[in-house]
Amino acid sequence: KQEVPETDVEPTIKIDNLRKEFDVPGGIEVAVDGVSLDIGDGEFVTLVGPSGCGKTTTLRCIAGLETPTSGQITHEGEDLTYIPANKRNMAMMFQNIALYPHMTIVDNIAYPLKVIGVPKSERHEEAREAAEIMQIGELLDKYPGELSGGQRQRAALARTLVQDPVAFLMDEPLSDLDAKLKVEIRKEIQKVHKRLEKSTVYVTHDQEEAMTMSDRIAVMNDGQIEQVGTRDELYNYPVNTFVASFIGNPSINYFDGNVLDLSEERGAIDVHGTTIEFDVEYFSDSLSGSDVRVGFRPIAVSLEMNSSGGQFEGSLELLEPVDDRALATVDGPEGELRAHIPTNLPLEEEETVQIEIDTTDLYIFDGETEELVA
């Protein structure tokens, strides 16, 4: 019934079939393998995925720090693919902040303006403004060594602000910060983005970071983009089990199942001897066989002790507080599964629990291709 939604942005930066190979001993390493992505004017797009999936290489190609093996990158129709980094006017921010240790903060922030010949008083004025935005106005005369990690990161962000770039490119800028600072600087980056409305490409391996900051998220795996979408699209309509597992915390559970009946209206699936029936909201006719993976999020699982007649039975292994709920780890019919449940339920570890899955919240994947079918 319902289609996987498509987004339609007016692109300013276009990446077309990007491929990047590196020569490595004994052959080549394909770091990016056919990536196409449109970044809208003023849009915040995040590349997310596990270590080594090609996020950084993609970003470095956009920045001009790597030359693609093939493919094209354009900005407002202009081919940038072989334009050197310093001619692209893109501001890059990395995880290890390279402030010049022998320069004061104001000189550090103003440095990109010095490079292009802006007079000192003018560039200091702009640096002061950027520092005010980043709330480090009182640190301008200090040296980087006198600043905390968070303050240094703010200074680095201020330095990218003075450049008035066509786009911001950020590679895990928060990964060296502790949890509290992470949230603080994350908010700061979001504020700056709201204020300046510059196209931003942000790289992280942290799906939560991606989910909180981005207009759209591109989930990468093994040099390719698995899916691009808003947080809701990725969460509600993950195209395959890779995206379903990567997006959402705590992460989704799966049971093997066998389709008894699946139409545009209703589904019935045998899961470990229990028949699960549900209304089909999203339906794709690409179901090739009858073996499926039934995905269900921890939030869709309820547990009960001292009762009978749940859909499944398991043993409660661990209860831990997570946010304002509890995360239960249950040894179920297919090994470990996670339930994100209210606190204060009468549950005890190492006891038998009845497991109920909310059938309005199921994700059905083809057992072979692992693609979403219902």
Binding site for ligand ATP (CB under 6 A): 22, 24, 29, 31, 49, 51-57, 205
CB of residue 258 to ligand ATP, shortest distance in Å: 36
For the beta sheet containing 224-229, the strands, ordered from the edge strand earlier in sequence to the opposite edge, are 90-93, 167-171, 199-204, 44-48, 216-221, 224-229
Residue (31 or 347) nearer to ligand ATP, CB: 31
Question: Which amino acid is it at 178?
Answer: D
Lookup result for tokens 């200091």:
124
Instruction: Report the nearest approach of ligand ATP to the CB of residue 49 (Å).
Output: 6
CA distances to 81, 92, 117, 201, 306 from 63, in Å: 10, 7, 22, 10, 60
CB of 32 to ligand ATP, least distance (A): 7
CB nearer to ligand ATP: pick between 222 and 361: 222
Q: Which is nearer to ligand ATP, 49 or 150 (CB)?
A: 49
How far apart, in whole angstroms, are the C-alpha atoms of residue 204 and residue 221? 13
- Smallest distance from the beta carbon of 30 to ligand ATP, in angstroms? 8
Smallest distance from ligand ATP to CB 3, Å: 30
Specify the residue, 59 or 353, whose C-beta has the smaller distance to ligand ATP: 59
CB of 39 to ligand ATP, least distance (A): 17
- 202 vs 283, which CB is nearer to ligand ATP? 202
- Per-residue CA distances from 62 to 14, 57, 314, 357 (Å): 9, 9, 49, 44
Between 56 and 227, name the residue whose CB sits nearer to ligand ATP: 56
Shortest CB 225 distance to ligand ATP, Å:
12
Q: In terms of CB distance, is 69 or 72 closer to ligand ATP?
A: 69
Provide, rounded to whole angstroms, the least separation between the CB of residue 172 and ligand ATP.
Answer: 7
In DSSP terms, 171 is beta-bridged to 203
Pairing of strands 167-171, 90-93: parallel
Give the integer Cα–Cα distance in Å for 54 and 46: 13
